[in-house]
Every structure is written in C-alpha cells, then in structure tokens.
Amino acid sequence: MPSVAVKLYSVFFKLLLKHRLQNLISISADGLSDSFGVSTRSDESVAAANPSFTDGVATKDIHIDPMTSLTVRIFLPESALSPTNQPRSDRRHSHGPLNQNPAEERNESRRNSYGCNTENLESYGGYAPPPRRNSRKLPVMLQFHGGGWVSGSSDSAANDFFCRRIAKVCDVIVLAVGYRLAPENRYPAAFEDGVKVLNWLGKQANLAECCKSLGNRRVNGVELKKMNVQGQIVDAFGASMVEPWLAAHGDPSRCVLLGVSCGGNIADYVARKAVEAGKLLDPVKVVAQVLMYPFFIGNNPTQSEIKLANSYFYDKPISVLAWKLFLPEKEFDFDHPAANPLAHDRIGPPLKLMPPTLTVVAEHDWMRDRAIAYAEELRKVNVDSPVLEYKDAVHDFATLDMLLKTPQAQACAEDIAIWVKKYISIRGHEFSY
C-alpha cells in the first residue's frame, strides 16, 4: 500500500485540484476562449531555463508559434559534447588549429557550422555548439506533460526535474512541449500543438541540412535566403531560425514520443499522425512511444475503474471534471477518440502500423485496465507493446513533485531507458535485455 505521507498528500492534492477545476468551470461558463492560449498557470512553481550545463543538462525555452502560446523546452545532456571518432582535446570545446590567431578564433566562435550566430548565447554564458566539429548526434524525444488538460507545463519544477532525469538516463535530447491548456483552448488544441512540434522538428532538420549545403537554395520547395542580420538563417517569411542545439546534436531519424498522464493521449495521437504522414515527415521518424499511465477512459467501465474509482490523486470524479473542461460540450463522450483509444470510431491508421509502445501503469490507478487493454490490442497485431506495472504505485508516481525522488520513480526512468534504447541505439551498438 502507498505510505501514510502519500495518502495524506493525496487528500490535500485532490482538494486543491477540485477547487481549481471548479473555478475553471465557472470561468469557462462565461465563454472564455483565447486562440493564443496559455501554456502555464501563474500559481504553479516553475524552473527557470539554464543554457549552461547544470547537473549534466542544459536547457532553453523556445516560443515556436507566434500565433499561439506553444513553446518547447530543450533539454540537452552533456553527453552530447563527447566527440565522435575524435581524440579529446586538452582545451574544452576548442577544435580549431592550435596556431590560429586569437582574434580570428573569437570571430569564428561566434558562428557555428550551421550558419547560426551564437554570440548572443555566449553573452549570457550559455552553451553554443563549437565550429568545425563532428558533433555527437543524439535521438530526440518529444515529451508531453500531464496535468489533466488544465494544468502543468513544460517548465514546471517537477517536469523540469523529470525531463532532466530522462535526458540523462536515456541519453537523448528532450523537447518538453508546452501545449495550450483547457478550458481556454479545448480539444483539439493540445493535440494539434503536439503535431505542430513534430513538424517543427522536421523543418529544423531540413533547414540545418540546407545550411550545410551552400549551393542548395531550396528546402521542400521553399526558397531560403541567408541574412547577415545577427547571422540568422530565415525562410522567405523571415521566420524559423535554425536552432543550433538541434542542428549540431539532434538526430530526428531516431525520434521517441513520451506522454505522461493526459500527455500519453497526446503522444498516441501524434504517433498516429506520424504514421499517416509517412515520408512527408522525413527526416523525422517516430521509432517508439512511451505512455506513462495514460489518461484513458470509456463509456463501459473496466474493473479498475469500478474498484479504484476513488483512488489517489487523480480519482475518477476529478478526472471527469477535467474531461468536461477539455472536450467541447457538443463532443463530450467518454468514447471520444481523444479519450478511448479503442473506441469503435477510432480515427487513424490501423493498429498494426503503430510504433512500438511501452505502457507504464500503477497498481492503485483506476485508469490502469484500459491502458493494459490498449497494449494487449497492439500485441495482437504484432506491435511490440510491453506493460510495466509497478506495485503499490499510484497515478503520477514517477512524475509528481513529492514522488520524483523516490527509488520507484528512479527505477521507472531506468526501466524506460532500457526499453527505449532498443529502438534508438545506432546499429552495432544495440542495447538489449
């Protein structure tokens, strides 16, 4: 059974969450709608981005859509700095000739090999990829936070801690997606934001590749121009500067999706859209997804939904309130495609085309049975879809602020890393168990 501390914290958590949801319901009744939206709540604890390597990970925030509040926080593990097939230099991050003129070296360091001016990063002490370096490429993981559609953020203190941990144990670049929250933006806003970030990742990869090909002036039919204004690379509309960390260290051909709670629903939707897009997403390839206690529900209750309806933290009555805030009133249905992945009117490609899927469930979570049922259906069509069930665990056991530092939370991250590395390891360096 969960500890007394967890039980007590769950009581206060549910009281506060219920109060927040009821306030949001009253606000939404006034017809609140904002296409720009919000991706974080002012009363939530956030962690500031730090572009220098702290605890082995550097972070930065990027607002990727000028029309909405959609943001991503990039988590770059320090392992990305390890040279590939090159001896270590005595001078960290220096890769020019030893007899290079110091003044020339300073000027060269302001521009990396992808045409991006990095002087603005150096001015506040942040990491800038050095020039003329065969940088190590890491897989990219898109992470979608939980919070019952109405709370949580990519830069919350808890999510920052979790993503740092995942970046290090999985040895990946994590893009934590700050999608728009409900009720300001109801379905399908959060789902569309997830797809938008996946497309943004592909665009970044294409722009970076173009910058390395000096003679190539077009990417996907879009004419590019190189502006000498702050050394930026922009498209014909003056947008989409090449992101230097991703350009230097990201390998989008090894892309993994990871969703926490309601973020699992988003991840599964994005995976479907990636399957439908096929080669249109090149060079991005979704090779696997991880669903951590996904926020699934349905009209016909499962055994766990009946037996554990009043379980810890996100119990069923509270979750129903969250769904009422997320789904448009005219579409409210627990068998909605966003809620039930096995609904009869499921939209998307056949299950047999879905990527390998790892599902994490907790013993004391009322949502567990439906997540397990989804994994079983994937296995029936020969999709690798194991289930990791954690005894005496509750919903959010590996991502909730007070539980992040428990041995079980650390073990969960390590278990995820073991499975994920089967699909992201470079051929010849596979990791198996």
Known catalytic residues? Answer: 261, 365, 395
Distance (Å, whole) CA 49 – CA 172: 18
Q: Hey, what amino acid is at 417? A: A
Q: Distances from the Cα of 286 to the Cαs of 263, 270, 278, 386, 429, in angstroms? A: 16, 9, 10, 18, 19
Query: Cα torsion for 149, 150, 151, 155, to the nearest 10°?
Result: 70
Strands 173-178 and 71-77: antiparallel
- Assign 144 to helix, strand or coil: strand
The secondary structure of 289-328 as a DSSP string is EEEES-----SS--HHHHHTTT-SSS-HHHHHHHHHHHS-
Distance (Å, whole) CA 393 – CA 361: 8
Count of other CB atoms within 10 angstroms of residue 300: 9
Q: Hey, what amino acid is at 321? A: L
Integer Rg of the chain from CA: 22
Q: Hey, what amino acid is at 14? A: K
Distance (Å, whole) CA 301 – CA 367: 10
Distance (Å, whole) CA 378 – CA 272: 13
Distance (Å, whole) CA 101 – CA 178: 44
Distance (Å, whole) CA 249 – CA 169: 17
- Assign 246 to helix, strand or coil: helix
Q: Which among 169, 145, 138 has a CA at the least distance from the CA of 71?
A: 145
Tokens at residue 426, please? 């470079």
